[in-house]
């Protein structure tokens, strides 16, 4: 639509891909009254499908209304000669403005220099939110971008319900019904708001990725489609009753909107349902409201109003009660304190007499303290954070004291047993070298360090019962440090028990790493450690049981691989990248995993990936960038060249392993390679590189994926993986860049250089698919041959 063009009833401005249309529409066919708006092509304009309205406050007579783009760059809606609505804009150049409707649903007015106006900057002109919209507020202009419901299904004027981000030091999403809070999202945890349900469904898996930005200029939430062009459409609608529903439409299937999620999801999602200082827990058919420890129920006007302190705080002799896995309280009376240790956050709260609770929000706000009453608390199953509530004096809960005494008795008994064993072994081994005695002393010290961790101690007998005395029937698999068993605890919870081998010299080191690392980490894509056990000679780690075990069980099994369609594989690729990004940049300490491989990626019932096995992981300080070691440990085929050859490791070592793993996911083959006289040859990596340079990379991709017609997205993933496995670690992207490249198809990718080991090994790949290595005398020998139309590989020189 160009200057001096106009639009009248019956005429339409359509987006390039025929996804959206701008036109006049009527909600009541018996009346000429109507509106100018945007809705989905080939669908009837109705409540929920209309994504933007210019004149939602005032209807017009569509028989005499017109929509005009003036020569000076202003959009005006006329009802005959009366101006009903206008953008009030002006172009810098006369007759240069142009109006476009994009496939995102955004109506954009621009000139040759810039965007003059766009509908995505005015989401409050609709009750529907679309991917690509910024949803939040601009601090310097004090303007808000929010959803406002319709009054009802036939009246699009602003209703009573508003969905917005509050302009607070710790912002979160809130639905208001009038002036009353109806629902609160909870804090951003790095991949979503903790109080919002997952948007995954059986029909479509994670069709969008989500970001949240909060800085000195603005705070906003944004969704973006993962694929371009997107195979689905997504919309989020705020209804007149305060409910938000997220729906999707499969562009390749029927034209019916399917429900992704609904908010509030249950009664506990209703704002502060249980009252102050209470935790709301959703049971099977009911809701349970329970006072925090140290609080008692109160009533006001004959009704329960929440809880108050049993003993008032006196700013001395205080302790803290930890409430695990909760949506932390309303942040209106909360203060962000910045990144610090858990102990520093606790001491900061103790030093402030008005501080009643604190929490450490890892990867987000760091230490947060609260004053006043704690509002809108609810328990969560697998997410949430730990809230530390300040109390005066000792808790008076006999059952909990008994539990504490029982745990103390167990710890003392175990410690006494270990001391006896240590004394016995010292007596028996006096004739051994001093170095051996020092090693025993170090092991003994490690055991005590483990007991000092804040992890739950499991009773050995309980684990024996849960695993049927480590029965082979319950054996899930076996790694380098011992077998893993499925078990069922007395409360019915399924767990996975890693039993570290008594013959493994690194067993205690691994246990120490797992306890100290995993117990302090909290991310959707990391395995969750429930606790540990160190009794007799057993060294056990207890994790959440994940129904689908590990990725390699599917990926390298011809009968199971087809269960991994493209949507599932991309979700796994993207999930692993987010888990690594958390370890490298967003966790309290920088962590290098060092053993990323398919067997260390566990899959839950929804096929969401969880990075596991932190036995070889290394902690880095904030200013550290790399380390080195003389003891190379890991898995050939996944280890970066600088680590294999020189013992150097960094975040880029994990990036290399990630790239190998992505190629395995795309191809469905292990990267285990030929190990020649000096350097290994990684088969999959070099096969892909050979075909990439010849422009035939899809030939080596799992044909089951190619048949799903996702060629562009698959090739982009190959491109990203090849960037990750480049020889020079400096050339490899960071995981932050990988996440960006996976989720934003407008980011240009640099050309990848040759994979690692290729130059070191003096390998050439000939046009007929033969790989040769040149030796010191200049002669070449054949290493393997790649077939032209499949991924089959033949090793021709096994020496």
Q: Are 193 and 163 in contact (CB under 8 A)?
A: no
Q: What is the CA radius of gyration of the chain?
A: 30
Residue 396 CB coordination number (10 Å): 11
Q: Is the dihedral of CA 388, 391, 394, 398 positive or negative?
A: negative
Residue 61 CA to residue 49 CA, distance in Å, equals: 22
The CA distances from residue 600 to 417, 603, 611, in Å, are 34, 10, 6
Greatest pairwise CA separation for the chain in angstroms: 106
- Closest by CA to 149, choosing from 163, 137, 132, is 163
Q: What is the 3-state secondary structure (H, E, C) of 507-557?
A: HHHHHHHHHHHHCCCCCCCECCEEEEECCCCCCEEEEECCCCCEHHHHHCC
What separation in angstroms does the CA of 101 have from each of 14, 76, 433? Answer: 6, 16, 80
Give, in order, the Cα–Cα distances in Å from 733 to each of 6, 43, 581, 655, 722: 49, 43, 12, 7, 10
Do 328 and 359 meet the contact criterion of CB atoms below 8 Å apart?
A: yes
Residue 595 catalytic?
yes
The edge-to-edge listing of strands for the beta sheet with 65-69 is 6-8, 65-69, 75-79, 82-86
Task: State the catalytic residue, choosing from 595, 613, 654, 727.
Answer: 595
* Beta strands 377-379; 278-282: pairing state: parallel
| Cβ-contact 358, 311 below 8 angstroms | no
**What is the C-alpha separation between 546 and 333, in angstroms, rounded?**
38
**CA distances (Å), origin 659, targets 226, 638, 662, 701:** 19, 9, 5, 15
Q: Which residues are tagged catalytic?
A: 595
């Amino acid at each position: 639509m160009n200057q001096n063009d106009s639009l009248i009833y019956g005429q339409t401005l359509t987006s390039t891909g025929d996804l959206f249309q701008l036109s006049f529409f009527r909600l009541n066919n018996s009346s000429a009254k109507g509106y100018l708006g945007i809705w989905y092509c080939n669908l009837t304009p109705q409540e929920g499908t209309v994504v933007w309205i210019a004149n939602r406050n005032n209807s017009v007579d569509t028989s005499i209304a017109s929509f005009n783009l003036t020569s000076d760059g202003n959009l005006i809606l006329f009802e005959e000669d009366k101006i009903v609505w206008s953008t009030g804009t002006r172009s810098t150049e006369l007759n240069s403005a142009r109006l476009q409707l994009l496939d995102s649903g955004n109506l954009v007015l621009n000139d040759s220099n810039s965007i003059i106006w766009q509908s995505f900057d005015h989401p409050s002109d609709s009750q529907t939110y679309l991917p690509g919209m910024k949803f939040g507020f601009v601090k310097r202009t004090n303007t808000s971008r929010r959803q406002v419901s319709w009054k009802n299904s036939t009246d699009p004027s602003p209703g009573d319900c508003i969905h917005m981000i509050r302009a607070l030091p710790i912002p979160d999403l809130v639905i208001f019904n009038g002036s009353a809070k109806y629902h609160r999202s909870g804090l951003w945890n790095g991949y979503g708001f903790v109080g919002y349900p997952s948007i995954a469904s059986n029909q479509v898996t994670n069709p969008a990725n989500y970001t949240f930005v909060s800085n000195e200029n603005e705070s906003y939430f944004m969704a973006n489609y993962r694929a371009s062009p997107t195979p689905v459409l997504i919309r989020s609608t705020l209804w007149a009753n305060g409910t938000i529903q997220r729906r999707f439409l499969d562009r390749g299937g029927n034209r019916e909107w399917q429900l992704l999620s609904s908010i509030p999801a249950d009664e506990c999602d209703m704002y502060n349902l249980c009252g102050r200082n209470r935790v709301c827990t959703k049971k099977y058919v009911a809701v349970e409201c329970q006072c925090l420890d140290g609080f008692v129920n109160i009533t006001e006007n004959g009704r329960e109003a929440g809880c108050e302190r049993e003993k008032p705080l006196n700013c001395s002799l205080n302790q803290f009660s930890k409430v695990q896995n909760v949506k932390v309280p309303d942040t209106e009376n909360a203060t962000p304190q910045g990144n610090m240790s858990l102990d520093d956050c606790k001491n900061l709260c103790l030093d402030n007499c008005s501080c009643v609770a604190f929490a450490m929000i890892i990867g987000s706000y760091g230490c947060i303290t609260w004053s006043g009453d704690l509002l809108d608390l609810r328990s969560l199953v697998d997410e949430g954070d730990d809230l530390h509530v300040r109390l005066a004096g000792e808790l008076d809960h006999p059952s909990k004291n008994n539990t504490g005494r029982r745990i103390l008795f167990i710890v003392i008994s175990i410690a006494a047993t270990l001391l006896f064993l240590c004394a016995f072994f010292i007596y028996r081994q006096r004739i051994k070298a001093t170095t051996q005695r020092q090693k025993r002393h170090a092991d003994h010290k490690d055991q005590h360090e483990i007991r000092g961790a804040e992890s739950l101690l499991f009773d050995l007998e309980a684990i024996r019962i849960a695993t049927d005395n480590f029965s082979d029937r319950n054996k899930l698999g076996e790694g380098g440090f011992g077998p893993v068993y499925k078990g069922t605890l007395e409360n019915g919870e399924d767990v996975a028990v890693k039993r570290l081998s008594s013959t493994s010299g690194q067993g205690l080191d691994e246990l120490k790493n797992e306890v100290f690392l995993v117990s302090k980490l909290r991310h959707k894509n990391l395995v969750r450690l429930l606790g540990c056990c160190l009794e007799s000679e057993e060294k056990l780690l207890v994790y959440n049981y994940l129904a689908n075990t590990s990725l390699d069980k599917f990926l390298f099994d011809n009968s199971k691989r087809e269960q991994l369609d493209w949507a599932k594989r991309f979700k796994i690729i993207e999930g692993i990248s987010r888990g690594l990004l958390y370890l490298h940049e967003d966790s309290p300490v920088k962590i290098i995993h060092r053993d990323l491989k398919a067997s260390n990626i566990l899959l839950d019932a929804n096929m969401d990936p969880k990075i596991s096995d932190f036995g070889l992981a290394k902690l880095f300080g904030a200013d550290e960038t790399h380390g080195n070691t003389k003891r190379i440990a890991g898995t050939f085929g996944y280890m970066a060249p600088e680590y294999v050859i020189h013992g150097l490791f960094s975040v880029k070592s994990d990036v290399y392993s990630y790239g190998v793993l992505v190629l395995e996911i795309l191809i469905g083959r292990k990267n285990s390679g030929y190990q020649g006289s000096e350097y290994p040859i990684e088969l999959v990596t070099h096969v892909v590189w050979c075909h990439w340079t010849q422009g035939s990379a899809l030939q080596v991709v799992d044909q089951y994926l190619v048949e799903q017609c996702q060629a562009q997205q698959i090739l982009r993933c190959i491109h990203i993986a090849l960037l990750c496995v480049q020889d020079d670690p400096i050339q490899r992207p960071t995981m932050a860049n990988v996440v960006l490249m996976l989720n934003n198809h407008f980011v240009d990718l640099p050309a990848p250089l040759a994979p690692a080991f290729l130059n070191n090994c003096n390998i050439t790949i000939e046009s007929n698919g033969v790989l040769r290595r040149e030796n010191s005398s200049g002669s070449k020998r054949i290493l393997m041959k790649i077939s032209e139309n499949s991924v089959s590989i033949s090793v021709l020189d096994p020496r």
